[in-house]
Amino acid sequence: MTQLIPLHSQTIDGNAVETVSARELHTFLEVGRDFSTWIKDRISKYEFVENTDYIMLPKTGELENKGLQGKIEYFVTLDMAKQLAMVENNEKGMQVRKYFIECEKKLNSTTTTQVQVVGKAEDATRAALLLSQHLNIKGPALETFLVTTVERIIGVEIPYRPLIEQRTYSAAEIGDVLGISANKVGRIANAHGLKTDDYGMLYLSKSQHGPKQVETWRYYDCAIDKFKSILENE
């Protein structure tokens, strides 16, 4: 869709609204009279309401000569813009009215998609919470677990991440650090109760042999010191 007139996000009556500069619309419509007279006449004739159908803002950066009052910009809602275009009753008016209708369709489509994603995320979050309870995941590991699990369920990346996300290590990585096998890391962890939220967290990861997700325990930095202490006392 070719942009005829840019949209501007403004706040009207406390709500974020896509608007059009009435001055830019006036220019596009090729109205045969000055902007100020035209917009004031249209507002009066069709009983448009300020802070509902339009807002007025000072035109920044364009004060008139030597301290005189600056120009006023009118930003109108898409509904008002469509009506202003229609009453001009010319080809330009019909063209830009169709353009505004297409803009509305695109905005509504985007909003619908966002609502659908939010709905899926809410369902996924409930499922992730139930899973975390089943797996007994608590503490700082819980937040990361929920975000990761919800992303995998809905297939959409969540821009939010916990502010503090601890680095984690697989059993193989712990083994490389300590010079022992991953299996021995697992045996020590099981024997000494290290698979708790104090020392790591449970991840769901894709199996190397198929689409099924498998549970994998990953360890925090503090677990490395604990493993070292246990090995030294063996």
Burial class of residue 18 in the structure, from the number of CB atoms within 10 Å of its CB (0-12 exposed, 13-18 middle, 19+ buried): middle
Contact (CB, 8 A) for 73 and 15: no
Tokens of 173: 């990585």
- Provide the pLDDT for residue 67: 45
- List the domain boundaries for the chain: 7-89, 117-232
Name the band, by pLDDT with cuts 50, 70 and 90, for residue 63. Answer: very low
Task: Give the CA distances from residue 24 to residues 38, 76, 179, in Å, rounded to whole numbers and listed in that order.
Answer: 13, 11, 71
CB distance 48 to 80 below 8 Å: yes
User: Over the stretch 123-147, which tens digit does the pLDDT of each residue have?
Assistant: 777 777 777 777 777 666 677 777 7
Mean pLDDT of 103-128: 68
Instruction: Report the predicted TM-score, pTM, of the whole model to 2 decimal places.
Output: 0.46
Instruction: Please say whether the beta carbons of 52 and 40 come within 8 A.
Output: no
Residue 191: pLDDT band (50, 70, 90) is very high
